[in-house]
Amino acid sequence: MPNTADTALSAEPEANPNQHDLIADENLRTPRRRIIAASLIGTTIEFYDFYIFATAAASIFPLLFFYGDDEGTAVLLSLTTFGVAFLARPLGAVIFGHYGDKIGRKVTLVGALLIMGIATFLIGLLPTVHQVGLWAPAMLTVLRFCQGLGLGGEWSGAALLASETARPGKRAQAAMWPQLGAPFGFILANGLFLALAVGFDFNLADAAAAGTSALDDPFLVWGWRVPFILSLIMVAVGLYIRLRIEETPVFAKALKNNEKVKAPIGEVFSKNWREIILGTFIMLATYGLFYIMTTWIVTYAVQPETVGSLGYDYQSFLGLQIVSIVLFAIFIPIAGRLADRFGRRRMLITTTSGIIVFGLSFGLFIGPEVLGTGADMNVWQMFAFLSVGMALMGLTFGPMSAYLPELFPTNTRYTGSGVAYNLSSILGAAATPPVASYLVQSYGVHAVGFYLVFLASLTMISLLFSPETNHRSLYTEEKLSA
């Protein structure tokens, strides 16, 4: 039985790759700088919103929303709430994918940005568990779910906006722009948290030791709310930019030729189920690595030694993490160039091999007995660990906004790529921070590395069964009834 995606997106002759994608150049009315801004700024805002929750969940939310006698349990509950968004993301991908494949990429991207921004703003207004009891974590969980819905519809739309307007042979380089939103959003979120912590002279270790007596600290009263409330201003800027772009020429031509389908989700699961499975597991190592290097590592570094962590200074560690994330940003465009030159599949197989080796080194890199704890922690060794992980993250994340959309035909591409990307988030991201925290407390930090090796091995198997897509056309010419 022929592969539907391979039939719909047949490989182009080597002498003239992506010839159908010339419509992106010929019919492109929106200036490329505006397309870059719309895809980059929008994803930066979305990821900023997502990461300020991650930073708070790993640091102050255990005290504000999950406080109890057991510090370890409070941390695990906080990280579990963080993971709720990943359960919502596939649903967001289905909802926004349906409209993205039916009415267009532009309108859907505006809706995703609004949902994420409003939910983030409302988190900044929530009362804490000390004020309203269990209503506080319940409301926090609901708003986190809404954040997941928004991000579930954001990524694939931004990736298609960039890739469906790319010049022939430069698709991975064009599609890397929305990927830069991840490190930029992370830097903004953590940079603002760090600046506020320094400005308020807030020390997480002292606050955790003081318990409820620390709740009068201005940072815990209102300082932590500032990054969430500021999201509303950033969303207004993103909306202004996104409302000034046109629909992608690839999708506009598909609409003109009556190539949309009634139910994109049914179509993609019936004809492209294999691509959904492959895409889901292709993203697995990327998600696992990222949330180990951004969310779990904060918990491991700054939480008390009594729960198996390092007890290092919160402000100092955020500074280390922000510097290392720059490598993530640097290696994304490098990955885009390499993916266009050597192919997505070959480049990702090489990078995934590096992630497996990295996972095997956790005990040697950051074990408490070799790294030290508290003020005695070896800062340079921790920075080296963060830098290697972030460089690998840039290399594996960079090509994804080209590779996943290329697996699917035009009329179900938004839905298909979004579902694969966000199903992977449940397996590789939602579970990773709490599972990693449990593994550290029960077996030691080397077990977290083995967990990453397991995720990367599943990704490697999927890549070996996946096609190369860099010479495929993004325009599907088959007629489908409306």
In degrees, rounded to 5, the angle at the alpha carbon of residue 456 between the alpha carbons of residues 453 and 460 is 130
- pLDDT reported for residue 251: 64
Going by pLDDT thresholds of 50, 70 and 90, the confidence category of residue 43 is confident
326 or 244: which carries more pLDDT confidence?
326
Banded pLDDT at 259 (limits 50, 70, 90): low
3-class DSSP state for residue 31?
A: coil
Domain annotation covers residue 473: no
Domain enclosing residue 214, as ranges = 4-464
Percent over 70 (pLDDT), the chain: 84
Q: Which of 320, 237, 285 is nearest to 395 (CA)?
A: 285
Please report how the helices 226-242 and 181-199 are oriented relative to each other, as an axis angle in degrees rounded to 10: 150
* Residues in contact with 482: Cβ distance below 8 Å, sequence separation at least 6, in sequence order: 258, 260, 261, 262
Q: Could you tell me the CA-to-CA distances from 66 to 206, 211, 216, 227, 340 in Å, in that order?
A: 17, 12, 17, 20, 47
472 occurs within a structural domain: no
- Output 206 or 12, whichever has higher pLDDT: 206
Q: Alpha-carbon distance 474 to 19, whole Å?
A: 10
Residue 384 pLDDT class (50, 70, 90 cuts): very high
Q: Average pLDDT, stretch 222-239?
A: 88
Per-residue pLDDT reduced to its tens digit, 323-376: 999 999 999 999 999 999 999 999 999 999 999 999 999 999 998 889 988 888
More confident residue, 29 or 6: 29
> DSSP of 325-372, one letter per residue?
HHHHHHHHHHHHHHHHHH-HHHHHHHHHHHHHHHHHTHHHHH-HHHH-
What integer pLDDT is reported at residue 294 of this predicted model? 86
pLDDT band with cut points at 50, 70 and 90 for residue 204: confident
Please report where in the chains the tokens 């290399």 appear, as a residue.
Answer: 395
- Residue 218 is part of a domain; what is its CATH number? 1.20.1250.20
Alpha carbon distance 227, 53 (integer Å): 10
Of the chain, the percentage scoring pLDDT greater than 90 comes to 31
Q: 3-state SS of the chain: helix, strand, coil percent to 5?
A: 80, 0, 20
Dist. CA 116–CA 278, nearest whole Å: 28
In a domain, 304, yes or no: yes
Confidence at 393, pLDDT banded by 50, 70, 90: very high
Nearest-10 Cα torsion for 349, 352, 357, 358: 150
Residue written as tokens 């570094």? 301
CA dist., res. 425 & res. 279, Å (int) = 11
The tokens of 387 are what?
């830098």
Among candidate residues 179, 163, 186, 154, the one with its CA nearest the CA of residue 335: 179
For residue 199, tell me if it sits in a domain.
yes
pLDDT, position 305: 77
Long-range CB contacts for residues 55-59, cutoff 8 Å, separation at least 24: 55/189, 55/190, 55/193, 55/298, 55/318, 56/193, 56/224, 57/81, 57/82, 57/295, 58/82, 58/295, 58/296, 58/298, 58/299, 58/302, 58/433, 59/204, 59/298, 59/299, 59/302, 59/314
CA distance 248 to 50: 27
Confidence of residue 69 (pLDDT cuts 50, 70, 90): low
Q: Is the pLDDT higher at 4 or at 29? A: 29
> What pLDDT band is residue 210 in, cutting at 50, 70 and 90?
low
pLDDT in the model for residue 165: 77
Q: Has residue 470 been placed in a domain?
A: no
Tokens of 453: 């090796």
More confident position, 71 or 472: 472
Cβ–Cβ under 8 Å, residues 51 and 185? yes
Highest mean pLDDT range out of 173-177, 294-298, 461-465?
461-465
Give Cα 26 distance to the centre of its chain: 32
- Structurally, how many domains does the chain consist of? 1
Asked if residue 129 is part of any domain, the answer here is yes
pLDDT of residue 17: 44
Distance CA 144, CA 86 (A): 9
Looking at residue 165, the DSSP 8-state letter turns out to be T
User: Can you say whether the dihedral through the CA atoms of 167, 348, 268, 430 is positive or negative?
Assistant: negative
Instruction: Read off the amino acid at residue 332.
Output: I
Instruction: Kindly report which listed range (40-54, 64-78, 431-445) carries the lowest average pLDDT score.
Output: 64-78
